[in-house]
Structure formats: structure tokens, C-alpha cells
Amino acid sequence: MTNGELLNTADTIQIIKEHLDVIDISNGFVLDGFPRNIEQAKAYQSFLTEYGINHNIVIYIELSEAEARLRLNGRYICTNCGASYNITDPTLAPKIKDICDQCGSKLKHRIDDNMSSLNKRFDLYYQQTEPLVDYYENLKVPLIKLNGTWGKEMITKKIINYFEVNND
């Protein structure tokens, strides 16, 4: 992962299963950043069938590469408690530069947010992740496309609105 590569599908599915086996999923669940490729999507569809889940929704937040790079370069993590920050977004930035709001420890740039890893991640995105949009559209899975520049409040509002309107 430090090099910008994805964890293999079998291990990824195993991690997801282990987490979902210990929580109540009767009211649904959210997986952020998954699946990342067609192989993972197919394994996930098998997983849903195995668990008797027949309702699946995909939320796709679109963002330009330039904006994504800016945000990725602004990510920082606390060296002590692991809290995440982003200096490109005032609502996600620490109150005091380079200091964790939660425990007062020093923040550091994430190790996987280097140019080599970012370039690899974008290559993987265009080759493996972007095709998921067509994959899910062909499966007729509801696909909510949102503009990533709207900000977290607007994106959250749009997602909640979708579920309120489409509650079944």
C-alpha cells in the first residue's frame, strides 16, 4: 500500500467479512473506497449473495485528478493517535499547524502520499477503478454520481436525500 498498490482481493474480502461478522448489518452498512477493481466487485457480489443481501447502491464521488492530487498532498496524520487532517480544507485542518487537535502530538505527512505512490495510484485508478462505473451501470445497480468539489456537507446532504426519497 505504501507503494500505491492495492491489497489483493482475497485478503480484502477476508478483512471485510471479519469486520461485518462482528457488527449488526441488518440496517445496512457502508464500505468506503471499495471495491477498487472489477475483480473485487465480482468477489463482493458473491459476498452479498452469500450473506443474502440483495440491495446494493454505489456512490461515486467524481473529482478531477488535479484536485485529488492537491487533497492527497495535504493529508497529515498524528504520530501518536492516528487522527487524520487535511490542510487543503479549513474544516479538516488542525487548529494549530502541525499539531494534533486531539492529543497535541506532532502531525506528519502520510508516508503513502509521495509522488511515486500518487502516480501509481492514479494509473491504477484509470486502469482498474474507473471501469467500475460502467460495470455497475451494466449490472443496473443504483449509481449515485456526486461532484467531489461540493464539499462534505453538500455531498452528505445529497446522499441522505437519496435514501429519504428512495427508502424501500
Q: Distance of CA 65 to CAs 19, 116, 129, 161, Å? A: 31, 15, 13, 27
* pLDDT tens column, 35-59: 999 999 999 999 888 888 888 899 9
Q: Are 59 and 146 in contact (CB under 8 A)?
A: yes
DSSP string, 79-115: TTT--EEETTSTTTS-SBTTB-TTT-PBEEE-TT-SH
Q: pLDDT-based confidence at 4, cuts 50/70/90?
A: low
Rounded to 5°, angle at Cα 108 from 107 and 109: 135
Name the helix (H) or strand (E) containing 116: helix 115-124
* pLDDT tens column, 121-165: 899 999 999 999 999 999 999 999 999 999 888 999 999 999 889
Q: Of 157, 154, 147, 158, whose CA–CA distance to 63 is shortest?
A: 147
- If one compares 80 and 4, the residue with the highest pLDDT of the two is 80
Mean pLDDT of 61-66: 94
Mean pLDDT of 117-124: 89
For residue 94, whether the previous peptide bond is cis, meaning omega lies within 30 degrees of 0, is no
Query: Could you tell me the residue ranges of all domains in the chain?
Result: 9-60+115-165, 75-112
Q: Distance of CA 54 to CAs 22, 47, 51, 57, 134, Å? A: 20, 11, 9, 10, 20
Mean pLDDT of 62-84: 93
| Whether the predicted model's global pTM rises above the 0.75 cut | yes
| DSSP three-state, residue 24 | coil
For domain 9-60+115-165, the CATH class is alpha beta
pLDDT of residue 168: 55
Distance between first and last Cα of the chain: 38
Grid cell in block for residue 97:
499547524
